[in-house]
Structure 1
Amino acid sequence: MEGSQGQNEPRPLGIEDLEACLALDRMALNGLWTSKQWTRELTDDHRIALGIEDAESQLIALAAGWLVADELQITAVAVAPHQRKQGLGTQIMKALIQRGGIAGAVQASLDVASTNRAAIALYASLGFVTTGSRRKYYRDGSDALLQWLKIENSRDIHTDQTDNSNTFRH
């Protein structure tokens, strides 16, 4: 199904998307993960990986996470540099949180570089709050901010934010 700007709606990613995930990872995340790590992300039953393709079927956004008990641990979010500031990050994150909620997650967590202002703003707009940090966590020496989101009524979730209370309307 096509979105308003010629992009498709988020769809589940599988092992057949490995090369596209690796390419987007290199382009947007400076090669954060290896082929082995992406293979695990795309094949493990406890993980969720979603992607958005452009009109030419090129992967331009992805989000991934894994379910641990009642938590969705978001492990990767990437948008192709030439596609940023078009709402794709919001779209893919909402879809991932919704999938996690349907699978039983009542909260979501992630870490984000303290220097990544765009990602911090995106996550804040979705209701994530910073609960801690890890000093010099990333390869470049930047700190990680630990962020959490409460997912209310996760089995029947819509991603319309009602206020700044760190919840989503059901």
Structure 2
Amino acid sequence: MRIPMADALATTRLDTPIGELRLAASPEGLVAILFACDEKTLPAARGTAPARAHLDRACTALQEYFAGRRTTFEDVTLAAGGTEFQREVWRAVSGIPFGQTVSYARVATRIGRPKAVRAVGLANGQNPIPLIVPCHRVIGSNGSLTGFGGGLPTKKWLLEFEGALAAAHRS
């Protein structure tokens, strides 16, 4: 994932039950959410007023999510980079409802590329906006909790929080 670094970029830190998150937004929308364990750096940046507005909206939405008052993020404007294939996967992943999980194979089928399971896994792993693009809801075909940028304990916590963990082990 490449995060655009420009004077227009606004960044902040947000304390959450899964640890500190670092967020970045451009005037076009939210570009990144980084977990505490992520080695990438985000410079402290005030950014432009539009970038700050996107950042404020994302922070409010995440606070509401962790308080149990939000299950969707449709009103958060996203401006993730990535290839067309990655963006196609991220759009499909964004459609996974709160409290549910799907397999990588199911995502591949949803985008019309049933044989692209590994490519879907790689694209999912490059998701620059986890939580809002809920890559934690994608699991192995056997129900296993596989790869997650925030670590498997965080993925497990999120799925338990959403009430999806039991469903994850039945899928």
Q: Which has the higher contact order (CA 8 A, sep 6+)?
A: 2
Q: Identify the structure with the greater helix proportion.
A: 2
